[in-house]
Structure formats: C-alpha cells, structure tokens
Amino acid sequence: MSFRPGHLAENPVPAGIVGALGLGGYQLLADVAGVGAGRLGSQAFLLVAPDPDPSLPDAGTQVALHQSRLRDEREAIAFVQLAAQLGYLRLSGYRLALERSGLRSKVHLVNPATGGIAAVIPDKAPGRLFGGGASPDRLLAGVRSLPPAGRPPDLESPEMLRQALLALALSDESLGGAQAAETADRALELLRGDSSLDPPKALEAAKRAAQ
C-alpha cells in the first residue's frame, strides 16, 4: 500500500473534526506514506490516512495519539519519528487499520504475513498519572523492533523509494526536518548512480557527503 508524496497535505483532517478538537491551523511536521505528525502549540498528534477500501466510503485523514500537552520538544520529535517509522512499515507491507474512537482513532498495525496485530497506537496519549505507558517514545521503541512484513519497499518506484528514504531520514535523531528532506534527496541520487547500495547505506553515504 502506498500513497503519493504530499497526500496528507492534500487531504487534511476534515474541518468538522479539526474544529471540534480545537486543532484549526495545525502544522504538518511529517508526511510519509499517508502517515504524519501534527502540531498546534502544546498539542501533538499523529495523522493517518486509512487504507483505501472500495467497499467503504472514504473516512478521510484521521487523528490518533492526540496529546494535549507536550512535556518538552523532545516529545514533539518523537511524534515525527513515530510517524516516519509507521510510514516506513506501511511501505514495507504492513497495513494500518483504523478504528474510530469518538473524534479520534486507534491505529492497528497489521502484519499481512500473519494477519496478526503487531502494535496498537491509541487514540489519545495517556496522562502522566497513568505512567505514560503509550507515550510516543515507548511506542516508537516498540515499532522499531518489529520484523519486516515480508518484503522491502518497491525500490523500482521512484516515489516509493524517495518516501522510504525520507522515512529513514526523519527517524534519524541527528537530522532536523529540512535536513532530513535534503539528505533523502541526496541519497536518492546516490542510489540512482549505484545500484549496489540499499536505502540505509545510501542514507549514511549522503550524511557523510554533507559533513
């Protein structure tokens, strides 16, 4: 399953949900394979476009893991990294099944090789009184540990390859948002010139070239 680059920018959260949640004018921090991170002041959340289903009406982009008060900027970065990792897993074959929970949605990460649910992203981040068990940091650690779904991203598709590189770059703590996009573009050029490279190696080479 793949989405064109810029899908979330072209398909924002429906106005009714944005208004009800008080998220008008949110900033889109990441947009990879129909998964992104949003920010408005102290609020942060994931944005997820559901897998297309011809038997159902289009539900539009949905909000998950809504956190009303960030503790610090590190948590905002974790939302971007989590969105990038979910986007990368989707490109590798995982499905994202959304379950509506009021105005927000839970996200079930489904491994098509087994049909099992590998991880669940809740609709809201828990409060501090509950220990932050589903915090973006802990969820990120969990999804990073997941095995491949059974096939890598389609490296023959320039759009999918660029999104895979962007997802890997956004997951790199040493790169900011603009740096990640520039590094992904450099890595894409390296891959076009050297077919022996894989995306992670191309990304590392692009980082070294920029130093």
**Strand 104-111, strand 116-121: pairing:** antiparallel
- Within-domain flag for 12: yes
122 and 171 belong to one structural domain: no
With cut-offs at 50, 70 and 90, classify the pLDDT of residue 5: confident
CA atoms 101, 104, 106, 109: torsion sign? positive
Number of domains making up the chain: 2
Average pLDDT over the chain reads: 87
Same domain as 48, residue 94: yes
- Its domain, for residue 52, covers 7-144
Q: Using only the alpha carbons of the chain, give its radius of gyration.
A: 17
DSSP 15-83: HHHHHHHT-TT-EEEEEETTEEEEEETTEEEEEEPPPP-TTS-----EEEEEESS-SSHHHHHHHHHHH
153 in any annotated domain: no
Token pair, residue 121, equals: 């992203």
Beta bridge partners of 203: none
The pLDDT assigned to 151 comes to: 61
Same domain, 120 and 165: no
182 and 126 within one domain: no
Is the domain of 82 the same as that of 121? yes
Q: Assign 113 a pLDDT band (cuts: 50, 70, 90).
A: confident
Residues 139 and 166 in one domain: no
Find the range with the poorest average confidence among 49-58, 111-120, 166-175. Answer: 49-58
The model's pTM: 0.87
pLDDT over threshold 90, residue 74: no
Given this model, what pLDDT does residue 55 score? 75
Say if CB 182 and CB 169 are below 8 A apart. no
pLDDT recorded at residue 132: 55
**Is 193 a domain residue?**
yes
> Based on the domain organization, do 70 and 139 belong to the same domain?
yes
Tell me, yes or no, whether 152 lies in a domain. no
pLDDT value at 200 more than 70:
yes
